[in-house]
Structure 1
Amino acid sequence: MTHNGKMRAVIKPERSPGLEMASVDIPRIGLHDALIKVKATSICGTDLHIFKWDPWARAHINPPIVVGHEFCGEVVEIGQEVTQVKVGDFVSAESHITCQTCAQCRTGNGHICKNTKIIGVGRDGCWAEYIAMPEYNLWLNPPDMPVEIASLQENFGNAVHTAFATDVTARKVLVSGCGPVGLMTIAVCKAAGARQIFATDISPYRLRLALRMGAHFAYNVSETDPVREIMALTDGEGVDVLLEMSGAGSALDQGFKALRDGGEAALLGLAPAAIGFDLNNHIIFKGATVYGIVGRRLWQTWYQMRGLLRSGAVDLTPLITHRFALDDYQEALRVMQSGQSGKVIMFPDGIANKEE
């Protein structure tokens, strides 16, 4: 092992709210692993769950653990049997480490592998100077890709998977929830040629970003009844497709009310707990088709992402609103929680490259 010694990492030290910066061992790699020096890492809603120590986090996290699962970096060491990457490669990573041998993995459904280990959740993550990853989970980036964009591709994959679960081309689409994934989903729908894109949220800041990313109409649900507005603009038909990104019970209720009979819904947002839902009227009598979305299709979604980014069909740059040194993770989390941000990026080496 050439890269031994200690590194800085943000960890969940114990079963309680909060995180802390710690000095931990640089991870060791196996025969099929690579060691990556993290260049940039981004904050996800999952990280907020872990920070707050809510019921989901309490059920899934076993401290101590290094947190974080969205990143890019440079390969600095490879295991003896690694063939897919080499030292010096610029990579991002799929955060879901699957077994590749179960029935789901063998039938093209690795994104729902029951043996999945997620970095920053089930094993050490990337809010650190270094991370070890299986070579299978690494994705080669163009050398000139901005590190901010490269770091959020994993999260972008959630948006691509959700939008492409149905055919949104030339159709009326409602994206409910304009957090970063919702905003990226809007951009994908625009690139795919959606006829009308409606967006809902409670943050004026994020609704402005929704319009910038391609929404035709954006409604603050604390001030406006979006169902009434959508019905008025669709000749009383409603939307063809609901893409639900918030997990809020009220958003699900409004979304399905706005969905036309025979419409399709793709649901990514995680509810904080069990919620009440009008199954009869929202799904059964409506003849609706509903898709549950988890992770990214391996590796179909990643190739779709590559196409959208390299062609210029989707530009994620406006979504990146804040940059922090990893040492300032507390402030970065505060900004992310405020609703006054798009995507928040952190840099283990500081923010000398802030203006990239």
Structure 2
Amino acid sequence: MKALVLTDTKKLELSEVAIPEPAPSEVLVSVKNCGICGTDLHIYHGDPGSAEVTPPVVLGHELAGEVVAIGAEVTQVKVGDRVAVDPNIYCGKCKYCRSGKVHLCSDLSAVGVTRNGGMGEYCTAPEANCYPLPDSMSYEQGAMVEPLSCVLHGFKKLTFRPNDRVFIVGGGFIGMLFLQLVRNYTTGSIVVSEINASKHEVLTQLGATEVVSQITSDLYSQFDVVIECVGKKVTIENAVKCAGKGAQVLLFGVPGPNEVVEIAPYEIFSKELSISGSFINPFTLDEAVKLLDKEVVNIEPLISHRIRLEEVEHVLENYPKLQVSKALITL
């Protein structure tokens, strides 16, 4: 089979490799679509993903496809099923798994991160990690189940009141997912900060009350809910500054592992802010499938590039220049 193998930092090789055999509790998926995530970009440049990455490995953790073979112990998934794959595999034994916080697993592994993933024609995954797709859903939508499930985990950390003023920092793919969820759950105003003016029109169409190109001081202390979707020092610091009294701040954007921000503790104290993080996607994939199937969340305006495996490295090398919102690989 054809697969794109990460062999080292900033080195991808399109190779012919053997089709993997599923273990007794696994299935073999013929991958139809696979998304490129910001985490893939981090891994490509040598940073960790949800876990440490050891090349050689086939990346791709946002994937959907058809089950073409099953292991001897598989009972709930059958050949021919259309599935989205939850990449995250938990040990079930550590104190976090045993207390219901599986996403904080001490021995977390992941399809497309610590084991071969969806940037190849075939991929194995545990039966428990396969979520059936209704016939009404496309494989493109199925590949977006994983990122939406991550956004849902962060979204569920927040409490919205009808007239809350919401600020989303970053109007890229993740910001657009958050925007659609927030608009579906609140009637309040939603302001989005997005430096790329070419995205402003679609952000308005998706429900933004106002879109601004930069964060200025007149936005400070104005918002009841702030969702940071960029993961840069300046955007994280500004997210806290824009939070009003009693506000909730969700830090969702993924910073570099050595990124350090400067936040005045007195601001957290005096405003009585609630600041939280959000890591991967525990128990949210079923809901993500339903939201996409019912088109409560529309991914079509969010996909900026449809590509083949041969084009992936070019996209990763030129991500900012190409103004990628979401690149989707067709296999």
Q: Specify if TM > 0.5.
A: yes
Please say if residues 205 and 340 of structure 1, whose CA atoms lie closer than 8 Å, have aligned partners that are also in contact. Answer: no
Check 1:337–1:26 CA distance in 2 against 1; reply closer, same or farther (3 A cut). Answer: farther
Q: Note if 1:321 corresponds to 2:315.
A: no
Check 1:276–1:330 CA distance in 2 against 1; reply closer, same or farther (3 A cut). Answer: closer
* 1:17 corresponding residue in structure 2: 10
Q: Which runs of 5+ in 1 are unaligned?
A: 1-6, 232-236, 349-356
Deviation at 1:335, TM superposition (A): 6.1
| 1:43-77 superposed Cα distances (whole Å, 9 cap, x missing partner) | 10011112223x446x9221111111111000000
* 1:209 corresponding residue in structure 2: 202
Q: Note if 1:188 corresponds to 2:185.
A: no
Please say if residues 240 and 263 of structure 2, whose CA atoms lie closer than 8 Å, have aligned partners that are also in contact. Answer: no
TM-score by length of 1: 0.86
* 1:165 corresponding residue in structure 2: 157
* 1:277 corresponding residue in structure 2: 262
Deviation at 1:295, TM superposition (A): 0.4
List structure 1 runs of 4+ shifted beyond 4 angstroms: none
Please say if residues 40 and 346 of structure 1, whose CA atoms lie closer than 8 Å, have aligned partners that are also in contact. Answer: yes
**Alpha-carbon distance in structure 1 between the residues aligned to 2:211 and 2:115:** 38
State the superposition RMSD in angstroms: 1.9
**Alpha-carbon distance in structure 2 between the residues aligned to 1:281 and 1:218:** 29
Check 1:334–1:267 CA distance in 2 against 1; reply closer, same or farther (3 A cut). Answer: same
Deviation at 1:78, TM superposition (A): 0.4
* 2:242 corresponding residue in structure 1: 258
**Alpha-carbon distance in structure 1 between the residues aligned to 2:311 and 2:115:** 23
| 1:241-274 superposed Cα distances (whole Å, 9 cap, x missing partner) | 1111111111112111110111111111122223
Deviation at 1:174, TM superposition (A): 1.1
Question: Of 128, 135, 152, which aligns to 1:136?
Answer: 128
**Alpha-carbon distance in structure 2 between the residues aligned to 1:124 and 1:312:** 30
106-115 vs 92-101, which moves further: 106-115
**Alpha-carbon distance in structure 2 between the residues aligned to 1:66 and 1:312:** 31
Please say if residues 27 and 130 of structure 1, whose CA atoms lie closer than 8 Å, have aligned partners that are also in contact. Answer: yes
Q: Which runs of 5+ in 2 are unaligned?
A: none
Q: After superposition, where does 1:230-241 map in structure 2 within 5 Å?
A: 230=219, 238-241=222-225
Check 1:169–1:159 CA distance in 2 against 1; reply closer, same or farther (3 A cut). Answer: farther
* 1:268 corresponding residue in structure 2: 252
* 1:352 corresponding residue in structure 2: none
**Alpha-carbon distance in structure 2 between the residues aligned to 1:260 and 1:38:** 45
Q: After superposition, where does 1:101-180 map in structure 2 within 5 Å?
A: 101-170=93-162, 171-180=164-173
**Alpha-carbon distance in structure 1 between the residues aligned to 2:186 and 2:295:** 14
Q: Note if 1:38 corresponds to 2:22.
A: no
Identity %: 29
Question: Of 305, 317, 338, which aligns to 2:288?
Answer: 305
TM-score by length of 2: 0.92
| 1:291-313 superposed Cα distances (whole Å, 9 cap, x missing partner) | 1100012x2x2233234234432
**Alpha-carbon distance in structure 1 between the residues aligned to 2:60 and 2:111:** 7
Check 1:50–1:163 CA distance in 2 against 1; reply closer, same or farther (3 A cut). Answer: same
- Any idea what SS the aligned residue of 2:63 has? strand
* 1:98 corresponding residue in structure 2: 90
Deviation at 1:209, TM superposition (A): 3.2
The one-letter code sitting in structure 2 at the alignment partner of 1:186 is L
**Alpha-carbon distance in structure 1 between the residues aligned to 2:83 and 2:298:** 19
- Any idea what SS the aligned residue of 1:60 has? coil
- Any idea what SS the aligned residue of 2:97 has? helix
| 1:16-58 superposed Cα distances (whole Å, 9 cap, x missing partner) | 32322111221121110000000000110011112223x446x
Question: Of 211, 219, 231, which aligns to 1:247?
Answer: 231
Please say if residues 206 and 342 of structure 1, whose CA atoms lie closer than 8 Å, have aligned partners that are also in contact. Answer: no
* 1:353 corresponding residue in structure 2: none
The one-letter code sitting in structure 2 at the alignment partner of 1:179 is G
| 1:173-195 superposed Cα distances (whole Å, 9 cap, x missing partner) | 11112221111111111111241
Check 1:310–1:12 CA distance in 2 against 1; reply closer, same or farther (3 A cut). Answer: closer
The one-letter code sitting in structure 1 at the alignment partner of 2:320 is Q
| 1:83-124 superposed Cα distances (whole Å, 9 cap, x missing partner) | 121000000011111112323223322121121102222111
